[in-house]
Amino acid sequence: MRFCPFAKRTLLVLKAKGIGHEVININLKNKPEWFFKKNPFGLVPVLENSQGQVIYESAITCEYLDEAYPGKKLLPDDPYEKACQKMVFELFSKVPPLLLSFLRRQNKEDCSGVKEELHKEFSKLEEVLTNKKTTFFGGSSLSMIDYLIWPWFEWLITLELNEYVDHTPNLKLWMEAMMKDPAVSSLFIDPKAFRGFLDLYLQNNLEACDYGL
């Protein structure tokens, strides 16, 4: 689905590794029955290859693509460096549900509690960059972990919530560096389309996923 941040992870890896692919978008507000045969959880993203093998869970799809396809390796070969990327991924895990709950509340109750929690989570990520003294989360070049966490920071930009990284300067610099990446910039969501989608999606409108087409 064009606006799903989890599916965005897989699209970024497909783009970064130059893997030829086709996309079938699923209406997440009105899922086709056959889709549950692809993924019993009924979630995107799902990969299907010509052997009919199906892989789901965004992080698993990304790792699969990195292993199965040649070219630039996004995950490091060194076992410790690879483990570090997975530990950062765990550190990030509270951000997606927090950001979603923040978006759901935007125009309703006071969301200062959620804001504070987001600040806390961003500070943890800031600490990683500060300790590593590198631009990206995996080192001096962009790698898998950066793509895995990017889609939610892209939301901050498209929704003009950049002030959320005002107190985390390294994170801010990381975002600027990410925007220069060819895969990131070629897949950047149009802010108008995203806002249009989000409004309809939060109202449970069946047409949300096709906004802008």
Partner 1 sequence: MTDDATRTLGKGSAPPGPVPEGLIRLYSMRFCPYAHRTRLVLQAKGIRHEVININLRNKPEWYFTKHPFGHIPVLENSKGQLIYESVIACEYLDDAYPGRKLYPYDCYERARQKMLLELFYKVPHLTKECLVTLRCGRGCADLKLALRQEFCNLEEILGYQNTIFFGGDCISMIDYLFWPWFERLDVYGIADCVNHTPALRLWIAAMKQDPTVCALLIDKNIFLGFLNLYFQNNPDAFDYGLSC
Which part of the chain contacts partner 1 (CB under 8 A), choosing from 58-66, 111-119, 159-167, 190-198? Answer: 58-66
Indicate which single residue of 1, 12, 55, 142 sits in contact with partner 1 (rule: CB under 8 A).
55
Structure tokens at 199: 């409004």
Is residue 19 at the binding interface for partner 1, with CB under 8 A as the rule?
A: no
Which part of the chain contacts partner 1 (CB under 8 A), choosing from 27-35, 83-91, 105-113, 138-146? Answer: 83-91
C-alpha triplet 55, 155, 172: angle, nearest 5°: 110
Indicate which single residue of 19, 83, 202, 206 sits in contact with partner 1 (rule: CB under 8 A).
83
Per-residue burial over 184-211, b = 16 or more CB atoms within 10 Å of its CB, e = otherwise: beebebeeeebeebbebbeeeeeebbeb
DSSP 154-188: HHHHHTT-GGGGTT-HHHHHHHHHHHTSHHHHHTP
Residues 6+ apart with CB under 8 A from 122: 95, 164, 165, 167, 168, 171
Indicate which single residue of 15, 86, 172, 195 sits in contact with partner 1 (rule: CB under 8 A).
86
Q: Residues binding partner 1: what is the number (CB under 8 A)?
A: 17
C-alpha triplet 112, 113, 115: angle, nearest 5°: 60
Catalytic-residue membership of 62:
no
Binding positions for partner 1, 96-115, rule CB under 8 A: none
CB of 83 to partner 1, least distance (A): 4
Is residue 56 at the binding interface for partner 1, with CB under 8 A as the rule?
A: yes
Active-site annotation, residues: 4
Binding site for partner 1 (CB under 8 A): 53, 55-57, 60-61, 63-64, 67-68, 79-80, 82-83, 86-87, 90
